[in-house]
Amino acid sequence: MEQAFGEVNQLGGVFVNGRPLPNPIRLRIVELAQLGIRPCDISRQLRVSHGCVSKILARYNETGSILPGAIGGSKPRVTTPTVVKHIRDYKQRDPGIFAWEIRDRLLAEAVCDKYNVPSVSSISRILRNKIGGLSQPSQYEAGSSVKPPAPVVSYGALYAYPNPLAHGPTTKGHNGVMPPGMALPAMAGSHGFPRSWPSSYTVSDILGFRTAVEQQGLLPMADGAAYTAKVEEWGAMGRAAFAGPAQSVNGIGKVTAEAELKFSQAHSALPAVSSFVSASSLGSYPGAPSQVQYVQYGAPTGPGFIAGPGGGWQAQHGGRLSPHGVTISSGDLHFKAMAGRTPRVSDMLPRKS
Instruction: Name the site residues for DNA (rule: CB under 7 A).
Output: 3, 9-11, 13, 15-21, 26, 38-41, 48-52, 54-59, 68-77, 153-156, 159, 172-176, 195, 235, 335, 337-339, 341, 344-347, 351, 353
Bridge partners, residue 321, by sequence? 313
Which residue, among 231, 265, 198, has the nearest Cα to 14 in the 3D structure? 231
Nearer to DNA (CB atom), residue 163 or residue 327? 163
Strands 272-273 and 328-329: antiparallel
Q: What is the CA radius of gyration of the chain?
A: 24
Among 208, 309, 323, smallest CA distance to 256 is for: 208
Q: Report the SS3 class of residue 61.
A: helix
Quote the least distance from Cβ 127 to DNA, whole Å. 17
Cα-based torsion angle of the residue sequence 160, 340, 6, 247 in order, rounded to the nearest 10 degrees: 20
Phi-psi region of 18 (alpha: psi -120 to 50; beta: other; left: phi over 0): left
CB of 166 to DNA, least distance (A): 14
Nearer to DNA, 121 or 353 (CB): 353
Of 261 and 273, nearer to DNA (C-beta) is 273
Which DSSP category does 314 fall into? E
DSSP state of 319: P
Question: By three-state DSSP, how is residue 294 classified?
Answer: strand
The answer to whether 67 touches 242, Cβ cutoff 8 Å, is yes
Are the beta carbons of 245 and 199 closer than 8 angstroms? no
Indicate the residue among 123 and 249 with the shorter CB distance to DNA.
123
- Least gap, CB of 11 to DNA (angstroms): 6
Minimum distance from CB of 148 to DNA (Å)? 11
Nearest distance from residue 324's CB to DNA, in Å?
A: 23
Give the nearest distance from C-beta 187 to DNA in angstroms: 14
Element (H, E) at 124: helix 120-129
Closest to DNA by CB, 7 or 214: 7
Q: Closest separation between CB of residue 53 and DNA, Å?
A: 7
State which residue, 122 or 322, has the beta carbon closest to DNA.
Answer: 122
- Residue with Cβ nearer DNA (254 or 341): 341
Q: Distance between CA atoms of 4 and 231, rounded to whole angstroms?
A: 7
Question: Least Å distance between CB 250 and DNA?
Answer: 26
Work out the angle between the directed axes of helices 99-108 and 120-129 (0-180°, nearest 10).
110
10 Å CB burial of residue 286 (0-12, 13-18, 19+) is: middle
Tell me how far, at minimum, the Cβ of 31 lies from DNA, in Å.
15
Question: Which of residues 81 and 156 has its CB atom nearest to DNA in the complex?
Answer: 156
Q: How many CB atoms lie within 10 A of CB 102?
A: 26
What gap in Å lies between CA 309 and CA 297, rounded to an integer? Answer: 14
Q: Which is nearer to DNA, 49 or 265 (CB)?
A: 49
